[in-house]
Amino acid sequence: EMQLVESGGGLVQPGGSLRLSCAASGFTFSDNYMYWFRQAPGKGLEWVGRCKTKAEGYSAEYAASVKGRFTISRDDSKNSLVLQMNSLKTEDTAIYYCVRDNWGMDVWGQGTSVTVSS
């Protein structure tokens, strides 16, 4: 069974940092672009960023709202995706989802909740 499991969410103060992890299983992780999306409470879905494959240099791209503050990385040997979030703002409060792209964003994790509040 293909599965993504996020971890690392929690409560952090504005200006703080948090590191989210995503553990993949049941598919060849290294073959796929991997994404982070988020959903603020009661709101719609927002793209955060993506990490390409080794063949494309593991390059990452980001939404304007997080560029310069968030960094996505991956470790194919551990089937792991990481979202490092720095300089957090209250508007970063959301559930964060790790997602596989396989000609469609077909596998989503259950999400991990991040709350930025003083």
Partner 1 sequence: EIVLTQSPGTLSLSPGERATLSCRASQSVHGNYVAWFQQKPGQAPRLLISGASTRATGIPDRFSGSGSGTDFTFTITRLEPEDFTVYYCQQNGNLPITFGQGTRLEIK
Footprint on this chain of partner 1 (rule: CB under 8 A): 35, 44-47, 61, 63-64, 97, 101, 103-106, 108-111
Strand partners, 4: 24
Nearer to partner 1 (CB atom), residue 4 or residue 14: 4
Interatomic CA distance for residues 68 and 86, integer angstroms: 9
In angstroms, give the least distance from the CB of 109 to partner 1: 7
In angstroms, give the least distance from the CB of 7 to partner 1: 15
Parallel, antiparallel, or unpaired: how do β-strands 10-12 and 112-116 relate?
parallel
In 26-93, DSSP assigns E strands to: 33-39, 45-51, 60-62, 70-75, 80-85
Computed from CA positions of residues 49, 55, 56, 58, in that sequence, does the dihedral angle turn out positive or negative?
Answer: positive
Nearer to partner 1 (CB atom), residue 6 or residue 82: 6
Taking alpha carbons only, the member of 12, 19, 26 closest to residue 109 is 26
8-state DSSP, 43: S
In angstroms, give the least distance from the CB of 25 to partner 1: 16
Nearer to partner 1 (CB atom), residue 68 or residue 103: 103
In angstroms, give the least distance from the CB of 23 to partner 1: 15
Nearer to partner 1 (CB atom), residue 76 or residue 101: 101
